[in-house]
Each structure stands twice: as structure tokens, then as C-alpha cells.
Amino acid sequence: MIQGMTAEVCPANHYDIHQIRGSIVPGTTDIGNHGDNQVTTVALPFSYTLYDQTFNAVNLSSNGNAQFTTLDTAFTNQCLPWLTHNYAIFPYWDDLRTDNLGWAGCTTYPNGLCGIFTSITGIPPNRIFNIEWRAVYFANTTTWANFELRLYEGQSSFDVFYGTVDFGNSSATAGVQKDDPSFDQYFCNGSGGRATRGQWYTLEGCPGQITLYARGYKVHGLQTVDLFWSGPTSGNIDIYRNRVLIATVPNQGGFYTDHINRTGRGTYTYRVCEAGSTNCSNQVTVTFGSG
């Protein structure tokens, strides 16, 4: 199990969206959201900061959005911005239902139930709150809309993972919104990215500052870390793990994968710098558990 990672960034108004590996972590706690156009308020297991505001609860809609300041039951999605709906995440906003009235699509989920289910992975201060929607489409209750939002303790980043979403991106909206002028959209009604695999949303750093994010996972049991950075202007980037230079790479795309190729537990600190200089990013720590 990946226990978590930490990063310090300053407030900003936009999120970068990265394609990532991974899959849904099944929810284990039923929050009681079983309805059509139903919003359920859930206390967070830790304080979570979205953009520049910190929250202790989130309002989860059966229609596939997570609202931090509003309680809107709207089922008809629209392309962002969703006016006056500040501080909201849209993993998969569509006309969905999570009730259990004999819908064929619900009977194929675990225990034969639609709903919103949560779980917590990792240990403090690096916990992850997993929020899984097991829904069907209002237009066709034999079809699945299964997806997940993951919130990270001590970070402003979050993940979205798609399982089976039978309508794809054709009638849904995905993205994040701070306010009417500040939002980032991944797809809407057939335009944009695909509703497959996973996306990692990371808050942009301050102008002129090098900002680093790291995401740890295991491939066939081997420790692997993806690094994303923004801000440097040099042609090459020095990458440090545990204060040791491990690579110098072209500054193209702001991405590097560190194949540590070790099993079991481990803790690693990362920093990137403009090559040959002391202009460096924040330090990020990645911790691997034993699983």
C-alpha cells in the first residue's frame, strides 16, 4: 500500500491535469446516498484544501460531483464554469441515479447495490480519502457509471479514476472549479479527454517558482515514482532523490518516472533544480508501505 506523499505549494487559481496509472480502490463505507438527484454531506477524515480554502466536509451528489460550498441537486450537466458554484470537483457530472429500485445495472455492483461508498487508505499524515460512485444512467438503468475521487491529506491535489462508464465523455462534465473565472475542464459533452484510466489534478505553483509533485505506486511490487514540475526555464533539469543526483533530463513536458525497483517499504525525498544551479523546487516526500 502506498502510504502517501507530501508537497508544499502556494495558492493558485488553476490545476494541471496529468494522465496517470491506477484503478479504483473499492469503497467500504456506505454513506447512505441512494436516490435520484440526492446530495449527501460527508465529514472528511482530515482537513482538505481545494485551491486556497480548507474544508472539513464535502457535499456529494448522486449526479457525480463533489460540492464544498453548495448543495445543488442539478442533474443536467453543463460545461464549466457552473455559475456561482464555487469550490467544486466534477469527477463525472451526468444525470445519474444511485437508488436501488431493481435497476439491472445496480444488481451487478458488489452486494447488488448502487450508491456512494468511501474508504480511507494510508496512515496519518498521509491518508487518502477514496470516494467511489456506483451508479447507473437515468437514461438507461442497465448501464454503469463507476468512478472514483481521491482526496490527499496535506495536499491540494486529487485523483479521478474511471471504471466502467458506459456513456464515456459523451454527456458528462469533468474538471474542477474555484469560481466563475477560475476553473479547469477535462472534458464536456464529447469534447476534451477520454473517461478512461486516471487523471491527477495538481495545483499550479506561483509564477517564477519551481513546483514539484510526486506520486508513488508499485508496478509488479516494485516501487515507482512519477514526478511532475512546473516553473523552470532552463534547458535541462537535475533530479535529486534523497539529496543524490540521479538524473539530468531535458526540460520537456515537466515529467520524469523514477523506477526505484525495490519492494516493500521505503521513504524517499525528491527535489528538482535547474541544471547546475541552486534554483530548486520544494521538497516532496513519498512513502511506501509494505503492501
DSSP letters along 227-254, please?
EEEE---SSEEEEEETTEEEEEEE-SSS
Burial of 162 (0-12, 13-18, 19+ CB in 10 A): buried
Predicted pLDDT at 2:
41
- Is there a single domain that holds both residue 274 and residue 141? no
Q: Quick one: pLDDT band at residue 1, thresholds 50, 70, 90?
A: very low
Predicted pLDDT at 187:
98
β pairing state of 96-97 and 191-192: unpaired
CATH number at residue 248: 2.60.40.10
- Is there a single domain that holds both residue 219 and residue 191? no
When pLDDT is averaged across residues 7-25 and rounded to a whole number, the result is 77
Other beta carbons within 10 angstroms of residue 83's beta carbon come to 10
- Is there a single domain that holds both residue 217 and residue 196? no
- Is there a single domain that holds both residue 67 and residue 110? yes
Q: Dihedral of CA 173/175/176/179: which sign? A: negative
Could you read off the pLDDT of 88-136 as tens digits, one per residue? 999 999 999 999 999 999 999 999 999 999 999 888 887 899 999 999 9
- Is there a single domain that holds both residue 182 and residue 254? no
Domain that holds residue 161: 2-203
Measured CA to CA in angstroms, residue 269 lies from 57, 77, 125, 228 at distances of 30, 41, 16, 14
- Is there a single domain that holds both residue 50 and residue 192? yes
Which of 153, 173, 203 is the last residue before a domain boundary? 203
> Which carries the bigger pLDDT value, residue 154 or residue 53?
53
- Is there a single domain that holds both residue 229 and residue 189? no
Measured CA to CA in angstroms, residue 214 lies from 241, 282, 287 at distances of 11, 11, 11
Which of 178, 203, 228 is the last residue before a domain boundary? 203
- Is there a single domain that holds both residue 72 and residue 164? yes
Please tell me the distance from the alpha carbon of residue 13 to that of residue 183, in angstroms, as a whole number.
8
Is 212 a residue whose pLDDT tops 50?
Answer: yes
Name the pTM for this structure.
0.81
Predicted pLDDT at 129:
97
Is 7 a residue whose pLDDT tops 60?
Answer: no
Is 169 a residue whose pLDDT tops 70?
Answer: yes
Is 216 a residue whose pLDDT tops 50?
Answer: yes
Is 215 a residue whose pLDDT tops 80?
Answer: yes
Which of 149, 174, 203 is the last residue before a domain boundary? 203
- Is there a single domain that holds both residue 267 and residue 170? no
Do residues 153 and 46 touch, judged by C-beta distance below 8 A? yes
When pLDDT is averaged across residues 18-26 and rounded to a whole number, the result is 89
Predicted pLDDT at 6:
44
Please tell me the distance from the alpha carbon of residue 76 to that of residue 100, in angstroms, as a whole number.
21
- Is there a single domain that holds both residue 195 and residue 267? no
- Is there a single domain that holds both residue 271 and residue 130? no
Count of structural domains, the chain: 2
- Is there a single domain that holds both residue 199 and residue 238? no
